[in-house]
Amino acid sequence: MSLSATTARPSPAAPPSPDVDRRRRRGRLFNRLDVKYSPYLYIAPFFLIFGVFGLYPMLRTAWMSLHDWDMIGEHTFIGFDNYTRLVSDEYFWNALVNTFGIFALSTIPQLLLALFLANLLNRSLLRAKTFFRMAIFMPNVVSVAAVAIVFGMLFQREFGLFNWLLSFVGVDPVDWDGHRWSSWTAISSMVNWRWTGYNTLILLAGMQAIPKDLYEAAEIDGASPWRQFWQITLPMLKPTFIFVVILSTIGGMQLFTEPLLFGNGNIIGGNQREFQTLAMYMYEMGIVNLNTAGYGAAVAWAIFMIIIVVSLFNFLLVRRSAK
Amino acid sequence: MSVTTRRTRLAAAALAAITAVSGLAACGNDDDKPAAGEKPAKLVVDTFGEMGYDELVKQYEKDTGIKVELRKTAQLGEYRPKLVRYLATGKGAADVTALEEGILNEFKPNARNWADLSPLVADHSKEYLPWKWELGKAPDGRLIGLPTDVGSLAVCYRKDLFQAAGLPAERDQVSALWPDWKGFHDAGLKYKQGSGGKAFIDSITAVSNGVLFQGNGDLFYDKEDNIIADTSPAVKNAWDTATSMADISAKASTWSPEWSGGFKQGTFAATFCPSWMLGIVSDNSGPANKGKWDVASVPGGGGNWGGSWLAVPAQSKYPKEAAKLAEYLTNAKSQVEAFKLKGPLPTNLEALKNEAFLGYTNEYFSNAPTGKIFGESVAKIQPIHLGPKHQAVKENALEPALRAFENGQADKAKAWEQFTKDAKTQGAF
């Protein structure tokens, strides 16, 4: 290598010996290899980790989904049978409806509220900005299990805070996990509590990136703050909004811990599966029931596909409406 | 030139590092099977909950010179996934593994994961409760588990609340109130009347559980493991008994927050107690309620809820020594020691006759002679055949349907329909 060339440097007068020439050529070869391949080496760690923890489990899950797979026993190849079974599986569709129901109940009010709060925090008149920004983000730092346990206590039938409060306005105690609407409300409230602040901050960052002169110009033209919000803030916020919507979609489709702990850890989510989400159904089939791991893998892939479709749909929707 | 040189070297170093790491990973795979007859330096024991092996294991170490590592997991819910991972990957299992009733049944169809113990230990089949011994065998006849404890059923009741409602409070009189489940329901109605409408039992699923485990014939599966949940008379009996109790139930299903909170609040006056439940009842009720609880016999004779076996995974490197250790931990002397330490009820016939065991009284439960009460009810337990997915059918089909009925989400016919349909999917294997 070139390192050794310094020690064996020939005198300048002498013509380059064949030995030095070979070394130089080798150095050039290394140089060429370096330019060509070392970039790949630099990005290799990411791909290695992604391959091990991302791609391999995905492909393995796909492979499992084509089998009748017993976790601690036999594996038999059955082609796409798991997927055909999925299409006619009542409880899969039930879980899908639950997931979308809770998703709608949590994402829509959450994003509206986040937009409202972000707009408030974006006011230049506001004092103690950093305090409010920190405060609004706090719920997101709390562990999801702690949130679910505390909310589970608040929503208890016998000794829960909400039923106690309701008793003052003459409402009978609600059996929160006994109905679809009530359990969905309870679970969405956990998600909303935890994620509104997070989305507010992202939207706020997006709002601050909007050039101030646009607002100044609008003000000179006599546009009201409301009009400024509709015609400047919202359209300029589009990319941030798409990002937030897609993130919420992924989170919403994978909702697991909140409903699980809300139902005292029972994987079927309510006596009549009122709040069993897709992720819970996947866990029931793939992990709890040892002999249906293959079917659980099929559910996992179905969730993956649904996330892609819903994200695309949201993307198109948000892009269109913001035009 | 010097910049590219440094790059080249860096790249080379990175490449070297990567190969080194993958090389190491390759080395880690080596199987170090011991030579035959070699004495193990250490045996590992996996248990859940409190099985009372702490002192026994120390004694074994002293006697044999083999070190024993006791790995305890508090919750069964955490224990099972760990076990599944060990079996699925063929790595990490302990040499001796405690298997709870539900887990054992679920693992039985794949009995190859477990060592056959019959050639490894002496024949003990006559020394244990016969049905308990039989349950330790796989369908192909291999012996995969040595019996540890049973969860013989009793009724825990609140003496003070009974008295206040005009019911007898003394334990023999209370037991006499309910020779059968009809008597139990009548007592409940009387309590409700005398207490101004308060609930008598925690939930109807607690009742169904008790009736099921009294074993009047096959439950969810027949002897050939065909699922018969919708036609089994024993299941229908449990269903009818449970649903008839809805008017005296506090609708607090076992393990729910309403349930654990209910002990302190006195929302119910009686619940079903296998011996291992006594500790949970006293924990939930707190020191303030000490001496208010007592133990009576269960309606309709004995019954069994829970209980475990010790097994040796096929992946153990020392199956012979592990089997010897399991044999030691389940013998009569050890079972009495374990009972004294943590309370698991013996299954060894000799241990069940032991005086220290029979003379044991429980201070928290008004000094009830729990050794005698549970010892007697053990004798009444009928052998039951539990199919491979008994637990799943019970927890995810029967009990949700019963709770739906109890909470008024479905009428009796609708709830039964829900159960029979779910039993087929949950019970398939």
What is the DSSP annotation of A98-113? HHHHHHHHHHHHHHHH
The CA dihedral of A181, A187, A188, A190, to the nearest 10 degrees, is 150
State whether residue A52 sits within 8 Å of chain B by CB: no
Are residues A2 and B5, on separate chains, in Cβ contact within 8 Å? yes
Query: Phi and psi (nearest 5°) for B236?
Result: -60, -40
CB count within 10 Å of CB A60 equals 11
Chain B's closest residue to A267, CA to CA, is B396
Do residues B313 and B116 make contact, with C-beta atoms less than 8 angstroms apart?
Answer: no
Distance of residue A309 Cα from the nearest chain B Cα, in angstroms: 29
Q: Are residues A202 and A267 in the same domain?
A: yes
Do residues A153 and B257 make contact, with C-beta atoms less than 8 angstroms apart?
Answer: yes
B2 chain-A contacts, CB cut-off 8 A: 2
Distance of residue A110 Cα from the nearest chain B Cα, in angstroms: 29
What mean pLDDT comes out for the span B263-268? 92
Q: CA–CA separation, B273 vs B282, rounded Å? A: 11
Are residues A272 and B81, on separate chains, in Cβ contact within 8 Å? no
Q: Please give the mean pLDDT across all residues of chain A.
A: 88
Find, among B255, B272, B250, B243, the residue nearest to B418 by Cα: B243
What mean pLDDT comes out for the span B237-265? 91
State whether residue A264 sits within 8 Å of chain B by CB: yes
Does the pLDDT of residue B234 top 70, yes or no?
yes
Output DSSP code: residue B408: T
Q: Are residues A57 and A108 in the same domain?
A: no
pLDDT in tens, B334-393: 998 888 888 789 999 999 988 888 988 888 999 999 888 888 888 778 778 888 888 889
Residue A76 within any structural domain of the chain:
no
Are residues B409 and A70, on separate chains, in Cβ contact within 8 Å? no
Q: Residue A267 has which token pair?
A: 């994987």
Query: Phi and psi (nearest 5°) for A6?
Result: -65, -35
Q: Residue A187 has which token pair?
A: 């679970």
Q: CA–CA separation, B190 vs B165, rounded Å? A: 8
Chain A's closest residue to B253, CA to CA, is A264
What mean pLDDT comes out for the span A198-209? 94
Helices (H), B153-271: 159-164, 171-177, 181-194, 204-212, 233-244, 257-265
| Domain assignment of residue A184, given as a range | 81-322
Among B202, B256, B258, which would you mutate to test the A interface (most chain A Cβ atoms within 10 Å of its Cβ)?
B256
Q: Are residues A40 and A173 in the same domain?
A: no
Find, among B68, B48, B52, the residue nearest to B333 by Cα: B52
Q: CA–CA separation, B273 vs A211, rounded Å? A: 70
* Residue that terminates a domain, selected from A33, A65, A97: A65
Q: Are residues A105 and A203 in the same domain?
A: yes
Are residues A41 and B15, on separate chains, in Cβ contact within 8 Å? yes
Percent share of chain B, pLDDT over 70? 91
Size (chain B), residues: 429
Radius of gyration of chain A (CA): 29
From the list B2, B15, B396, which residue is nearest A268 (CB)? B396
DSSP letters for B282-301: HHHH-GGGTTTEEEEPPTTS
Does the pLDDT of residue A5 top 70, yes or no?
no
pLDDT at A36: 87
Do residues B362 and B339 make contact, with C-beta atoms less than 8 angstroms apart?
Answer: no
Residue A264 within any structural domain of the chain:
yes
A39 chain-B contacts, CB cut-off 8 A: none
Q: CA–CA separation, A180 vs B2, rounded Å? A: 70
Residue A263 within any structural domain of the chain:
yes
The total domain count for chain A is 2
Give the burial class of A216: count Cβ atoms within 10 A of its Cβ; 0-12 exposed, 13-18 middle, 19 or more buried.
exposed
Do residues A253 and A307 make contact, with C-beta atoms less than 8 angstroms apart?
Answer: yes
Among all chains, which residue has been given the structure tokens 């999917």? B425
Q: CA–CA separation, B402 vs B246, rounded Å? A: 10
DSSP letters for B67-93: EEEEEEES-HHHHHHHHHHHHHHT---
Are residues A268 and B265, on separate chains, in Cβ contact within 8 Å? no
Does the pLDDT of residue B160 top 60, yes or no?
yes
Q: Are residues A21 and A117 in the same domain?
A: no
Radius of gyration of chain B (CA): 25
State whether residue A72 sits within 8 Å of chain B by CB: yes
Do residues B96 and B322 make contact, with C-beta atoms less than 8 angstroms apart?
Answer: yes
Residue A74 within any structural domain of the chain:
no
Residue A70 within any structural domain of the chain:
no
Q: Which amino acid is at A311?
A: S
Residue A187 within any structural domain of the chain:
yes
Do residues A278 and A306 make contact, with C-beta atoms less than 8 angstroms apart?
Answer: yes
Distance of residue B12 Cα from the nearest chain A Cα, in angstroms: 9
State whether residue B89 sits within 8 Å of chain A by CB: no
Residue A170 pLDDT grade (very low, low, confident, very high; cuts 50, 70, 90): confident
Q: Are residues A148 and A278 in the same domain?
A: yes
pLDDT in tens, B75-94: 888 899 899 999 999 999 99
pLDDT at B35: 52
Displacement of CA B317 from its chain's centroid (Å): 27
Do residues A241 and A322 make contact, with C-beta atoms less than 8 angstroms apart?
Answer: yes
Q: Are residues A147 and A293 in the same domain?
A: yes
From the list A175, A272, A290, which residue is nearest B400 (CB)? A272
With H, G, I as helix, E, B as strand and everything else as coil, classify residue B275: coil
Are residues A72 and B87, on separate chains, in Cβ contact within 8 Å? yes
pLDDT at B28: 39
From the list B110, B256, B261, which residue is nearest A264 (CB)? B256
Q: Are residues A24 and A132 in the same domain?
A: no
* Residue that terminates a domain, selected from A41, A65, A89: A65
pLDDT at A123: 80
Q: CA geometry: angle at A68 spanning A285 and B308, to 5°?
A: 60
**CB-based contacts of B8, cutoff 8 Å, min separation 6:** A1, A30, A31, A33, A34, A38
- pTM of the shown model: 0.82
State whether residue A24 sits within 8 Å of chain B by CB: no
Q: Are residues A13 and A132 in the same domain?
A: no
Among all chains, which residue has been given the structure tokens 């070392």? A38
Find, among A108, A124, A131, A137, the residue nearest to A207 by Cα: A124
pLDDT at B233: 92
Residue A116 within any structural domain of the chain:
yes
Q: CA–CA separation, B327 vs B120, rounded Å? A: 10
Does the pLDDT of residue A180 top 80, yes or no?
yes
Residue A14 pLDDT grade (very low, low, confident, very high; cuts 50, 70, 90): low
CATH code (residue A317)? 1.10.3720.10
Q: Are residues A220 and A307 in the same domain?
A: yes
For residue A90, give the H/E element and its range. helix A90-121
Q: Are residues A233 and A262 in the same domain?
A: yes
The domains located in chain B, with CATH, are 42-150+306-358 (3.40.190.10), 151-304+371-427 (3.40.190.10)
Output DSSP code: residue B154: E
**CB-based contacts of B355, cutoff 8 Å, min separation 6:** none
Least confident of A92-101, A112-121, A277-286, B218-227: B218-227
From the list A41, A71, A91, which residue is nearest B84 (CB)? A71
Do residues A291 and A73 make contact, with C-beta atoms less than 8 angstroms apart?
Answer: yes
Name the region of B299 (left: φ>0; alpha: ψ -120 to 50; beta: rest): beta
pLDDT in tens, A128-153: 888 888 898 999 999 988 998 899 88
Q: CA–CA separation, A237 vs A321, rounded Å? A: 12
Q: Are residues A110 and A61 in the same domain?
A: no
Residue A60 within any structural domain of the chain:
yes
* Residue that terminates a domain, selected from A65, A91, A120: A65
Among all chains, which residue has been given the structure tokens 């060429």? A32
Find, among A240, A280, A233, A242, the residue nearest to A261 by Cα: A280
Q: Residue B285 has which token pair?
A: 């009720």
Find, among B98, B99, B122, B115, the residue nearest to B331 by Cα: B122
